[in-house]
Structure 1
Amino acid sequence: MNKLFTGSFAILFLLTSCSKENEVTVPMDVQKQLESFEWSPIVSAKGTANEQLKHKPKDCEKDNVYTFTFAESANKFTVNRGKELCGDDKLTFESLIFSEQQHRGFTYDKGKKSIKFADSDPYQSYEVQLDADQLILISRNNNPLAYVLPIEYYFQGKRTAATK
């Protein structure tokens, strides 16, 4: 009976410790950097690999501002739309991510350094690359049956009033 109790306790301990390892948390430095800026889309002058496409923001997107909010209950990505609305243009970052919403929930995969938006295609994620006040989100589709080129979205950060 003692061996059964000890074995059960060991299994329970392993299961609870494994679940803590699999929790997805955003490293504090990444979290602080994403939250510290208001991100505006830009056209990048950087070169890119041939297997990736650069997104060129349309005029209606250029005055949009995006912000990240991290909270225990839910992470939120928000768009504050500019004066010119994109309307029915489905090829904009705004339309692809937000449709007609202002917020989108997301999770962050620390190992892959990527964002997965709530209710999105299970194969779709966005790799996060940060360099000071520049952000690149690289759209990836890992569906083995779909051949979709990665798309790079570039953003320039402007410090928020709370972090100045």
Structure 2
Amino acid sequence: MKNLHFLLRYSDKLSGADTIAEHSAVIEANGSVWMGKFGIGMNQSFVKTAKLQLERGEQCYLYLMHGSKFTCRANIIDVIAGSTSKTEISSKEPNLTPAYYRKKKCSIWFKLSAIEPIDEKELKHLWLYNNPSSHPSSAGMRGLIYLTYNDQPVPPPKEKKEEKPSIYTKGLFD
């Protein structure tokens, strides 16, 4: 079974706060922090997959991207999401949420135990969860992307065999 990780785009422009510094300060003071995502959420099947992965003692990471630059990797210890991709919910533990958006509702909340700078070498092992032969793009992406980590070489795509025309269509529709 492949592992599940997440890539979240964030912006400091909306709040005027230093997102990473604010969340890191809550971790420093309390051991963990909730980080929310505004806008479209995720399917509950991904929440379930992440929770099962965590229950098995396997790592689940939240990779953070500011603009088109990967900035950090955060260790996920819990995740909750609204019942639909458009449902917004409050933080489960407001005291573990940075003050600048503590009272706001988000579609997804990730509980994090650590935020650290990303090791650039790790990026080459990140693949799209639903398309494990493609790396995430740094431009034109959604706000939340599902990833998997694979440090094994990815086999090249299979070559298509040249198909012969059908005896009924003589190649007109093949």
Bigger fraction of residues in strand: 1
TM over 0.5: no
- Give me the TM-score of the superposition, normalised by structure 2: 0.23
* Higher RCO (CA 8 Å, separation ≥ 6 residues): 2
Give the structure-1-normalised TM-score. Answer: 0.24
